[in-house]
């Protein structure tokens, strides 16, 4: 099951891209959702595999 690993609300485009690259460079499958037209949805980066959560969190926290 997918797990939200990083919310994109309020972060700069540069920071968001850095986190995207961090996940990709470490072979962590992820996808992105937007806040939608009215900002009612969750804008964030999601891990495809829940088993990657601990590793991804360690990488993001070290960033």
Contacts of 59 (CB under 8 A, 6+ apart): 22, 23, 26, 28
Confidence band for 49, pLDDT divided at 50, 70 and 90: very high
24-39: average pLDDT: 94
HEC assignment per residue over 2-62: CEEEEECCCCCHHHHHHHHHHHHHCCCCEEEECCCCCCCCCCEEEECCHHHHHHHHHHHHH
Q: pLDDT category, 54, cuts 50, 70, 90?
A: very high
Looking at residues 29-40, what average pLDDT do you find? 92
**Residues pairing with 26 in the sheet:** none
**Angle at Cα 12 formed by Cα 11 and Cα 14, nearest 5°?**
130
- The pTM is what? 0.90
Topology (CATH level 3) of domain 3-62: Alpha-Beta Plaits (3.30.70)
């Amino acid at each position: 099951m997918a797990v939200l690993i990083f919310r994109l609300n309020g972060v700069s485009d540069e920071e968001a891209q850095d986190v995207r690259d961090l996940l990709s460079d470490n072979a962590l499958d992820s996808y992105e959702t937007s806040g939608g037209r009215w900002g009612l949805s969750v804008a964030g980066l999601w891990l495809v595999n829940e088993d990657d959560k601990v590793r991804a969190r360690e990488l993001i926290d070290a960033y």
